[in-house]
Chain A
Amino acid sequence: MDAVPALAVDPLLDDPGTRIIVCCGSGGVGKTTTAAALALRAAERGRRVVVLTIDPARRLAQSMGLTELDNVPRPVPGTATAAGGELFAMMLDMKRTFDEIVEAHADRARAEAILANPFYQSLSAGFAGTQEYMAMEKLGQLAARDAWDLIVVDTPPSRSALDFLDAPQRMGSFLDGRFLRLLMAPAKAGGRAGRKVMSLGVAGLGMVTGTLGKVLGAGLLRDVQTFVAAMDTMFGGFRARADATYRLLQAPGTAFLVVAAPERDALREAAYFVERLAADRMPLAGLVLNRVHGAAVPELSAERALAAAETLDAKKVAPPGMDDHRTGDADPEDGRRTPDPDIPPPDALAAGLLRVHAEGMRQLAREQRMRARFTAVHPEVPVAEVAALPGDVHDLTGLRAVGDLLAG
């Protein structure tokens, strides 16, 4: 266990060579919280930072000044600027990002036609992978603006951390893909697919599209065809941009942080992701193990604490007077107090405290087992642990606390 290197967060944040930090992991583990905490810390240590958050919890968003989804980075009020840094934050609006791409790459009339197309509207509002694609797209745009020296990116709340890497290319291929082209001009399409269509014959394709038309609903297929026609000049662009951002992620200035809770499913996802990053030569900075539980008195075992709690319980069933003598003369040197009837004697409290401790120790043991399982397979990955705070993290104070924990 002690062979596992600690993740040095402050050196990573302070290094001017660190230009992009990507926080990924499976849903609900604390990606958004970690991204925001890192961004705030980096800014308060002097860097000019923008954080791209995705679906932040409502209260966290409000306390970062993200009351409007306007897809533009805004300064975060309350950031300490003494060190000369700044923090900007934005919340991803996937539809708007998609609209902006269309507006930037098509002339006015064509852009209007696309934006009004019903198929485009359902695609931009909720196609599987749209959010991941648009997060990549936005990252590319922020990087191209060159207005910040550090970009911290949160990733969409998908089930699998791998979606963030795979969905953009899947969607890029889909948008540039052969079936959309087949729908447009079967005879022009080359390659195997084209020949297949040719061998099916025009009637075959007509039957195919006819059937799909019926199944997909009245005008959808027609909408798709119009959409494809209008987007024709942009094809290739999607795939190319997804590829460009992918390369950006492989650049030495990028650092991936995999966030996981000390639970089986989350750590399994984290392990997949670590392996995938290595396969794609993407720079992994480390694992953030979030919401780790600690114990007040680590040397007191769960068994011992429970045994003591039971001893106290046994006293409670003893005849009255046996156990409450201590409350009254709690402090013999301090003669000023008489027992307060509203405050329970320490026996019940002590037993409760011991049970809380035992529960904590069991959880700790479970979490350490999970962590050990991960580090046995990936001993090279530096780890930063963040304790579970008693409440949710929903303001800058909470983010600073998480930042302190991250930095160790």
Chain B
Amino acid sequence: MARRLHVVSGKGGTGKTTVAAALALALAEQGRRTLLIEVEGRQGIAQLFETEALPYEERRIAIGPGGGEVFALAIDAERALLDYLQMFYRLGSAGRALRRLGAVDFATTIAPGLRDVLLTGKACEAVRRRGADGRFVYDAVVMDAPPTGRVTRFLGVNSEVAGLARVGPIHHQAQAVMRVLRSPETAVHLVTLLEEMPVQETADGIAELRAAELPVGATVVNMVRPPVLAAVPDAYGDDPARLHALAATLADAGLPDAARTAAPLLAQGRAYAHRLVLEAERRAELARHGIPLHELPLLADGIDIAGLYRLARLLRDQEW
């Protein structure tokens, strides 16, 4: 069965929002409907798609490369709390009083877990929602989730809640959310770069997710620079004859002043090759986690709509 809830996490700044958006586009194929959810209240999706700020409602923001629709939702924790209270307690005007007192703000900040309950709850509701025809409203839901350091707690919060509230509607709701999150329908993907700290964080994140029995999906290595030089043979360092030959080759190719520039170009190439070696080590480290590794190139001109679709086409060819 295809996965229906894709949670995208990763170290800050590695490209979670970008990858989540590209994945939503990639999944929206052949008429499939995808919902892209943002939970951190930063309007990153709207910025990416170059549209105005998203309201707290699902609205269509794009058509995927295969023709399917992408809807987006920026969840507002405060509004979600009021909805939640309304659903369970039919508050009426007391809801407004709560708000005036700052109680909602209080509750969502004092118990960061509560915020997470609301956010994950909303995502799972979208995953399970069925239309009048009895079919799922969304074929896939993609969530731009909190960073690696917080994601396990974020997703696991409902198991804590189910433990605290032993009976009643909240208990059932929390259990239902955990069932979705722990099911094979869900996958948590981690975005990383081929740098030391993101790779370390990915390893820690995978271990934590597994310990919490949350399904790990794929690692997405983002901003990869396709190599333009394989290696610099050692022989080219200390042998003046070879440097000479290199300079002659460069001069032949039309380079002015090659006798002077050959050595610095060689040193620059050597540093580049050294970085590639480090990157290869990190890639091997990532591969050891035994989950699929997908790579996305660094787009030299940054990410605009066209770039986003390019990334989406690359992701579309992968198994999700």
User: In the docked arrangement, what's the CA distance between A197 and B11, Å?
Assistant: 43
Which residues of A207-266 are within 8 A (CB) of B? Answer: 207-208, 211-212, 214-218, 220, 224, 264-265
Q: Which of B13, B85, B109, B229 contacts A211 (CB 8 A)?
A: B85
B284 at interface, CB cutoff 8 A = no
B112 touches A326 (CB 8 A): no
B103 touches A350 (CB 8 A): no
Q: Which of A178, A340, A344 contacts B102 (CB 8 A)?
A: A178
Bitwise, A140-181 to B at CB < 8 A (1) or not (0) is: 000000000000000001010000000000000010001100
Query: How far is the CB of B82 from the nearest CB of chain A, in Å?
Result: 11
Query: How far is the CB of B186 from the nearest CB of chain A, in Å?
Result: 24
Q: Which residue of A lies closest to B301 (CB)?
A: A366
B235 touches A218 (CB 8 A): no
B268 touches A331 (CB 8 A): no
A395 at interface, CB cutoff 8 A = no
A330 touches B109 (CB 8 A): no
Q: Which residue of A lies closest to B40 (CB)?
A: A159
Which residues of A287-301 are within 8 A (CB) of B? Answer: 295-297, 300
Counting chain A residues whose Cβ lies within 8 A of the other chain, the interface size class is: 35 or more
A296 touches B97 (CB 8 A): no
Contacts of A394 in B (CB 8 A): 196
B200 at interface, CB cutoff 8 A = yes
Bitwise, B160-182 to A at CB < 8 A (1) or not (0) is: 01001110001000000000000
B209 at interface, CB cutoff 8 A = no
Asked if A357 meets B112 with Cβ closer than 8 Å, knowing A179-B103, A218-B164, the reply is no
A58 at interface, CB cutoff 8 A = yes
Query: How far is the CB of A308 from the nearest CB of chain B, in Å?
Result: 4
Q: Which of A215, A349, A355 contacts B246 (CB 8 A)?
A: A349
B132-140, B253-261, B309-317: which lies at the interface: B253-261
B272 at interface, CB cutoff 8 A = yes
B232 touches A309 (CB 8 A): no
Contacts of A300 in B (CB 8 A): 255, 261
Asked if A212 meets B269 with Cβ closer than 8 Å, knowing A349-B232, A356-B229, the reply is no
B248 at interface, CB cutoff 8 A = yes
Asked if A296 meets B250 with Cβ closer than 8 Å, knowing A327-B245, A330-B242, the reply is no
Bitwise, B227-265 to A at CB < 8 A (1) or not (0) is: 011101101100011101110111001110000010011
Q: Which residue of A lies closest to B200 (CB)?
A: A58
Query: How far is the CB of A229 from the nearest CB of chain B, in Å?
Result: 16
Question: Which of B102, B228, B254, B300 has the most chain A CB atoms inside 10 A of its CB?
Answer: B228
Query: How far is the CB of A292 from the nearest CB of chain B, in Å?
Result: 14
Which residues of A25-41 are within 8 A (CB) of B? Answer: 26-28
Q: Which residue of B lies closest to A308 (CB)?
A: B253
A272 at interface, CB cutoff 8 A = no
Bitwise, A56-95 to B at CB < 8 A (1) or not (0) is: 0111000000000000000000000000000000000000
Bitwise, A316-342 to B at CB < 8 A (1) or not (0) is: 000000000011001100100100101
Q: Which residue of B lies closest to A193 (CB)?
A: B101
Q: Which residue of B lies closest to A347 (CB)?
A: B249
Q: Which of A179, A182, A355 contacts B229 (CB 8 A)?
A: A355
A215 touches B253 (CB 8 A): no
A356 touches B250 (CB 8 A): no
User: In the docked arrangement, what's the CA distance between A344 and B244, Å?
Assistant: 15
Question: Which of A196, A296, A326 has the most chain B CB atoms inside 10 A of its CB?
Answer: A296
User: In the docked arrangement, what's the CA distance between A26 and B42, Å?
Assistant: 15
B264 touches A296 (CB 8 A): yes
Which residues of A93-137 are within 8 A (CB) of B? Answer: 122-123, 126-128
Query: How far is the CB of B299 from the nearest CB of chain A, in Å?
Result: 12
User: In the docked arrangement, what's the CA distance between A286 and B254, Å?
Assistant: 43
Asked if A349 meets B271 with Cβ closer than 8 Å, knowing A224-B110, A330-B245, A334-B241, the reply is no
Q: Which residue of B lies closest to A157 (CB)?
A: B12
Q: Which residue of B lies closest to A309 (CB)?
A: B253
Query: How far is the CB of B285 from the nearest CB of chain A, in Å?
Result: 13
A190 at interface, CB cutoff 8 A = no
Q: Which of A58, A214, A350, A362 contacts B249 (CB 8 A)?
A: A350
Q: Which residue of A lies closest to B163 (CB)?
A: A217
How many residues on B have C-beta within 8 angstroms of the other chain's C-beta atoms? 68
A326 touches B197 (CB 8 A): no
User: In the docked arrangement, what's the CA distance between A104 and B211, Å?
Assistant: 37
A312 at interface, CB cutoff 8 A = yes
Q: Which residue of B lies closest to A170 (CB)?
A: B109
User: In the docked arrangement, what's the CA distance between A311 and B88, Å?
Assistant: 72
B278 at interface, CB cutoff 8 A = yes
A211 touches B196 (CB 8 A): no
User: In the docked arrangement, what's the CA distance between A367 and B272, Å?
Assistant: 18
User: In the docked arrangement, what's the CA distance between A301 and B245, Å?
Assistant: 22
A352 touches B229 (CB 8 A): yes
A215 touches B107 (CB 8 A): yes
Asked if A218 meets B102 with Cβ closer than 8 Å, knowing A346-B246, A356-B268, the reply is no
B101 touches A217 (CB 8 A): no
User: In the docked arrangement, what's the CA distance between A273 and B232, Å?
Assistant: 43
A326 touches B265 (CB 8 A): no
Asked if A355 meets B228 with Cβ closer than 8 Å, knowing A308-B253, A330-B244, A391-B274, the reply is yes
Query: How far is the CB of B48 from the nearest CB of chain A, in Å?
Result: 13
Bitwise, B287-317 to A at CB < 8 A (1) or not (0) is: 0000000000000101000000000000000
Q: Which residue of A lies closest to B269 (CB)?
A: A353
Query: How far is the CB of A262 from the nearest CB of chain B, in Å?
Result: 13
* 26 pairs from A and B in contact (CB 8 Å cutoff): A57-B196, A126-B153, A128-B109, A196-B101, A200-B101, A204-B94, A204-B97, A207-B94, A208-B103, A211-B89, A211-B98, A215-B85, A216-B111, A300-B261, A308-B255, A327-B245, A330-B241, A331-B245, A343-B242, A349-B232, A349-B269, A354-B253, A356-B229, A357-B268, A362-B300, A392-B195
List 10 tightest A-B contacts by C-beta distance, closest first: A352-B229, A331-B241, A217-B164, A330-B245, A296-B264, A355-B228, A296-B268, A308-B253, A346-B249, A353-B269
> A123-B110, A216-B110 provided; 18 other pairs, C-beta below 8 A?
A128-B109, A204-B97, A211-B94, A211-B98, A212-B103, A215-B170, A264-B302, A265-B13, A296-B261, A296-B268, A307-B254, A308-B253, A326-B248, A346-B245, A346-B249, A352-B230, A359-B228, A392-B196
Residues on B facing A (Cβ under 8 Å): 11-13, 81, 84-85, 88-89, 91, 94, 97-98, 100-103, 106-107, 109-114, 153, 161, 164-166, 170, 195-197, 200, 225, 228-230, 232-233, 235-236, 240-242, 244-246, 248-250, 253-255, 261, 264-269, 271-272, 274-275, 278, 300, 302
